[in-house]
Amino acid sequence: MKSLRRRQRQALALLLLLAVLVLLLGGVVQPLLMHYWSSEREIEALHSRLELFRRLAAALPEQEQNLAQLQAQDPASQLLFQEPRPALAAASLQQLVGQLVTQAGGQVVSTQIMPRERGDTPLPEIALRVQLRGDSRTLVGVLHGLAYSQPLLLTRDLTVASNPRQRAAQRLLRNAPNALDVPPLELSFTVAGYTRRVSDGASDEVSDE
């Protein structure tokens, strides 16, 4: 009988020990195992992301080249000033007008950059008021050059007047055949082009000529 009770106590002690071990496994070991398994999954996810980033980085030069080709093939880009700042676009417009006037045999008297309109327009306008001297061939040559130029340029507010100095020059030529010839016409017009919109912080001012 005593031997049976001793065995029961041993069995009970063993059960208590097993219960303690189960509690330890459930309270300490299991969370550690769960944390380990979770870390393994996170590491695998990070490896997958790293591999994805590597593939994207390897394909980046090709994508940039494709983007450049698409931009070069964009027909609208040829119609706009490529300069990012309005001041640079206005300077390019002044240079272009000066070249056209010189090629047409005229003389640029003045160019004035018109104030830009402040508004939410997708294509801001760059306008220039031009005054020059020349003859009818100058007028035709300049207007033809502006009409077929790139970027796209629009001409408006054209005025043509006789040069008041031309009559005096004609009288001078009768008396002095070697005197300088004076262009018979004074021409003025506004020419406008367009540029891509930039942020207000990129805008700047240009002094008139």
pLDDT values of the chain reduced to their tens digit, one per residue, 209 residues: 555 567 767 767 777 777 666 666 666 666 666 776 777 777 887 888 788 778 778 877 877 787 677 666 666 677 888 887 888 889 999 999 999 999 999 999 999 998 876 666 678 889 999 999 998 899 899 999 999 888 889 999 999 888 766 555 555 545 544 444 556 889 999 999 988 776 554 455 454 44
User: Is the same domain home to 85 and 67?
Assistant: no
DSSP string for residues in 18-40 = HHHHHHHIIIIIHHHHHHHHHHH
User: Is the same domain home to 20 and 86?
Assistant: no
* Stretch (H or E) spanning 198: none
User: Is the same domain home to 84 and 164?
Assistant: yes
Residue 100: strand, helix, or coil: helix
User: Is the same domain home to 90 and 47?
Assistant: no
Residue 164 covered by a domain: yes
Tell me the Ramachandran region of residue 181: left when phi exceeds 0, alpha when psi lies from -120 to 50, beta otherwise. beta
User: Is the same domain home to 89 and 45?
Assistant: no
User: Is the same domain home to 100 and 188?
Assistant: yes
Range of the domain at 183: 79-202
Residue 113 covered by a domain: yes
User: Is the same domain home to 179 and 139?
Assistant: yes
Count of domains in the chain?
2
Q: Bridge-partner residues for 112, per DSSP?
A: 129
Residue 207 covered by a domain: no
